[in-house]
Amino acid sequence: MSLLFDPGFVILREDQSVKLFNIILVMSQVFGWFLKLLVINLTYFSYLGGLAVLLVTIWMSKFESGFAWSEDPDKEFNYHPTFMVMGMVFLFGESILVYRVFRNERKKFSKTLHVILHSVVLVFMLTALKAVFDYHNLHKDASGNPAPIVNMVSLHSWIGLSVVILFCTQYAIGFITYFFPGMPIPIRQLVMPFHQMFGVLIFIFVSITVAMGISERAAWKHTCWTKDGQMCAQQAISSFVGVFTFLYTVCVLLLVLNPRWKRQPLPEEEGLHHLTSSHSMTD
């Protein structure tokens, strides 16, 4: 693995390396967008097209779903997996890829887009958390009487909340250090390796948490295999959500961890960097 990501160990020419980057990037977007379609279609939320139409047709022929707010906690829950996958998986991954896809653009552009995407992720994540807590706290039994479900009892909820806390901490530190108000260059340089490392680790744990959530939901709701002992469309589609989550995660990691595809400072940025670095050393 160290040999694979060693910038001095060159197997491909530069043009071949760029071609491989583009192939993996396209694969990541296919997995990511198809993942969004799968999750959205599971809850019958949006315009359907292509293969997604077939999947939701099979899904909706046997099951009924949809969205609502707190007046219908069962349907409000559907915001939780939908927004978590759209935000914490897809948009989180896209925000990481910003510095690879736009590595030839000015850093200010990439940084701004990085912050915007992470901010959207934060909104999706908070909405998804509200949905699942409302589902538990406002849950009703078959007779319509209040029957709250205990919060934070599963491993998925423990790991999930830990990931949320880590993400919010990472977001706050990154925002203050690199965006506003912005820390001095030496502090930015000190924080950067940890910011990058924890960003990748949190992204990996997100995919693990998604897989745990899918398994938990399947164990509770997918009676076709828990009671009838057979595969059904509901179980198959939810499993594909997990598969495409992992495939998307792998593609993003391959694009991010290869040093040949790392963003290099533009000529004008290098001059500014040397100027600020030398100035800070003389202070």
Task: For residues 79-83, give the mean pLDDT.
Answer: 84
C-beta neighbour count of 30 within 10 angstroms = 14
- Give the single-character DSSP code of 181: S
C-alpha closest to that of 52 among 33, 79, 66? 33
What proportion of the chain, given as a percentage, has pLDDT over 70?
A: 77
- What is the CATH topology of the domain spanning 39-259? Four Helix Bundle (Hemerythrin (Met), subunit A) (1.20.120)
Count CB neighbours of 186 within 10 A: 13
Q: What does residue 146 show for φ and ψ, rounded to 5 degrees?
A: -55, 130
**Per residue in 23-65, pLDDT tens?**
877 777 666 566 555 554 443 322 222 233 233 333 333 444 6
Each domain of the chain, given as residue ranges in start order, spans 39-259
Contacting residues for 208 by C-beta, under 8 A, at least 6 apart: 159
User: Cα 65 to the chain's mean position, in Å?
Assistant: 24
What's the pTM value of the predicted model, to 2 decimals?
0.80
The runs of H, that is alpha helices, within the chain are 14-42, 51-62, 73-76, 79-83, 92-101, 107-137, 155-174, 185-221, 223-226, 233-257, 267-282
Q: For the residues 135-139, what does the mean pLDDT come to?
A: 93
